[in-house]
Structure 1
Amino acid sequence: MVHDFEDLAEVYKALADKTRLHMLALLACEELCVCEFVPILDMSQPSVSQHLRKLKQAGLVKERKTAQWVFYSMDGSRFPLLKDIVDSFPNVAAEIEQLKSRGLRVQCTL
């Protein structure tokens, strides 16, 4: 739970970027690996990682490591309003389906 204004400012700074909002919308659909964000967002892996780092620092996402891959999912435990905010985002499920149809969704499980 966010306990002070410093923490709250960190959350809102993380939410103040359209790429990070897009990432949260994607994570509301499914857990994703860093490498799966790259083709969806058309960004480099280091750029994706930087955005995810900011979301993690704000307590909005959590990570799970499997071998060399890091998977991210939403974490609403620190900021309970996150689910309500993300529910207002455009539906991006089709972007994940397109990733699957291109055969890119499974590259992290090889």
Structure 2
Amino acid sequence: MDYSQMELYLKAVGDHNRMLILKYLMKEALCICEFTELLDMTQPAISQHMRKLKAAELVMEEKRGRWTIWSLNTRHPQYPILLHLLSLLPEPERTIESLAAEGKRVICE
């Protein structure tokens, strides 16, 4: 990893909302519509964050019909470091389980 790659990585990780996105993705792959509920943000705002995470190669996308499912890139050279950093953070207030309990969990397939 060179300086410019490290800068891109740290900028991608160094945002509150992107940290939350990565923390959620530690548990399971999710689509944008689930992030809108979890983070109370608009779809375009979430998409901007996902573009930055994708540019840093921290996330991967999988097309399922008209849906895009996002997951952590487990092949990233700094994946173990990312997991360690995220494990230092508290769990988000809003959980995937609470979303399901509220009947707001969307299965995008």
TM-score between the two structures when normalised by the length of structure 1: 0.88
Secondary structure of the corresponding residue to residue 108 of structure 1: coil
| 2:33–2:106 contact (8 Å) kept in structure 1 | no
> Which residue of structure 2 aligns with residue 82 of structure 1?
82
State the shift of 1:93 in Å: 8.5
Equivalent-residue separation in structure 2 for 1:74 and 1:9 (angstroms) = 19
- Structure 1 segment 30-109 matched on structure 2, within 5 A: 30-78=28-76, 79-80=78-79, 81-92=81-92, 95-109=95-109
Q: Mark the CA change 1:42 to 1:60 in structure 2 (over 3 Å): closer, same or farther.
A: same
State the shift of 1:100 in Å: 1.0
Matched residue pairs, number?
107
Q: Mark the CA change 1:40 to 1:54 in structure 2 (over 3 Å): closer, same or farther.
A: same
Give RMSD over aligned pairs: 1.6
Deviates more, 1:99-108 or 1:47-56: 99-108
Moved over 3 A (4+): none
Equivalent-residue separation in structure 1 for 2:20 and 2:49 (angstroms) = 11
| 1:76–1:82 contact (8 Å) kept in structure 2 | no
